[in-house]
Amino acid sequence: MNDRTRDKDYFSGRVLITGGAGFIGSHLCERLLERGNEVLCVDNFFTGRRNNIGHLLQHPRFELMRHDVTFPLYVEVDQIYNLACPASPVHYQFDPVQTTKTSVVGAINMLGLAKRLKVPVLQASTSEVYGDPSQHPQTEAYWGNVNPIGPRSCYDEGKRCAETLFFDYRRQHQLDIKVIRIFNTYGPRMHPSDGRVVSNFIVQALKGEDITLYGNGEQTRSFCYVDDLVAGMIAMMDTSSEVTGPINLGNPSEFTMRELAQMVKELTGSKSRLVHLPLPQDDPKQRRPDTSQASDTLGWRPTVPLNEGLGRTIAYFDDLLKVA
């Protein structure tokens, strides 16, 4: 299977998604079921939540397995998406040693499984491999500016090492690998207390609390709606074995944190004040992907504008807070 071009009309096999009960993973599970795949969702529920995939549990082609990817996994599948790893600073700094183990040992275990089964494996890497970039926007050829011993290093360097492992398995074992670098993604099913800027701002605005800006609020990010990201991930997996990446997946539209906060205030009708706190150590000042490769290689472009995606995300959090 890994020696031929895969496309959405052809491939209908069994797909393993590690971290499948997480924010992005749950949307990927849903999309693959919609197109006819069998889905094996694996999660240890450190940050993933059963509510994210609760509506899928009765689906005849969906299976849930509680498992930690730092331990070997013996299953039979046709494709592997490796998403397992806490992705927000609040969560990955809670147990930084385990975060590094999840990225590195988890990658080794999923690569070993892919090697045994001779199936393609996709690594969900991150824009954090670029660190606090001196190149803007960031292209895939940029090697990054990462602090190897800082409080964010468990995540940044863990993901960088995972990429190394993926390409070494390619060189040494001719494994069919795919590496994507995910830029800030948002949407329904984000964890309300994960510390990410979109969820932070929305929850604070809906509760009428102060909206916290770090530093002067002029640092920038680019926000990709989760449906667009999932479409890009599947498009990457559907390429021939010659396409390895890494490929940036994100929205190239760039906003300051102050602009984002003002947009959230307007969309929620909130009277929250904007307040400033010190900038965390090693927090990147700028982040915007060059998505030329994704466009040229995958025919992929994000389609959901920020105000539309924020509206959907605000509706989700509004319902969630009412239940709470």
Is 155 assigned a catalytic role? Answer: yes
Q: Which two tokens stand for residue 322?
A: 């009412």
- How many angstroms from the chain centroid is the CA of residue 127? 10
What gap in Å lies between CA 99 and CA 154, rounded to an integer?
6
Q: Which one from 130, 155, 169, 186 is the annotated catalytic residue?
A: 155
DSSP β-ladder status, 220-221 and 14-18 = unpaired
Residues 6 or more apart whose Cβ sits within 8 Å of residue 89: 151, 152, 155, 195, 280
Q: CA angle, 116 as apex, 81 and 2 as ends, to 5°? A: 60
- What is the three-state SS of 181-249? EECCEECCCCCCCCCCHHHHHHHHHHHCCCEEEECCCCCEECCEEHHHHHHHHHHHHCCCCCCCCCEEE
Q: Where are the beta strands (DSSP E) in 83-205?
A: 121-126, 177-182, 185-186
Question: Which residues are designated catalytic?
Answer: 155
